[in-house]
Amino acid sequence: MSGLTASLLGWVAFSPVLAPIPPTPPPNPHGRAAIGVRADAANCVISHVFPGMPAAKAGIRVQDRIIRIGSAHPTDFNQVISQISAYRPGAVVEIEVERDGQRKVFRMALVPRPPEYDTGYPGGTMPFFPDD
């Protein structure tokens, strides 16, 4: 084998393009879960859907009213938070909303609660998620 061939083979063997990609770590089974919405505390009407979060990906919209999470029927947003917190990241949950007088059901995999939910967002935009 010539020096050039050995050199090329060494480059291919250690090329960053061919390096194995580390697997994505599984969600922390003891972490808190999130769907990525903010809602009116009294009536569960969604006021903000965070981009890239499960609710946004599933198709939940601003002005949807949460009427069921799993088998629970929350009457205020604190109950929504408690119900979502009962699940762990990675769990698949069914959420039913009322939109324009019609009910719609969405299934979504919960994600770990972003640390920004506890520390606030730039510009003072902080989702309504009290500590439990």
Judge whether 72 lies within some domain: yes
Tell me whether residue 90 is in a domain: yes
Q: Does residue 123 lie in a domain region?
A: no
**For residue 41, is it within any domain?**
yes
Where are any strands of DSSP class E within the chain? 33-34, 37-39, 46-49, 65-69, 92-99, 102-109, 111-112
Cβ atoms of 104 and 61 within 8 Å: the answer is: no
Confirm whether 111 is domain-assigned: yes
DSSP secondary structure letter of residue 52: T
Please report whether residue 10 resides in a domain: no
Please report whether residue 44 resides in a domain: yes
pLDDT, tens digit, for every residue of 4-47? 444 444 444 555 556 666 676 665 666 788 999 998 888 899 99
* Higher pLDDT pick, 110 / 118: 110
Predicted pLDDT of residue 32: 81
Residue 105 has pLDDT above 70, yes or no: yes
Model-wide pTM > 0.75: no
Domain count, the chain: 1
Q: What confidence score (pLDDT) does residue 126 get?
A: 42
User: Does residue 89 belong to any structural domain of this protein?
Assistant: yes
Name the residue range of residue 89's domain.
33-115
Q: What is the CATH number of the domain that holds 101?
A: 2.30.42.10
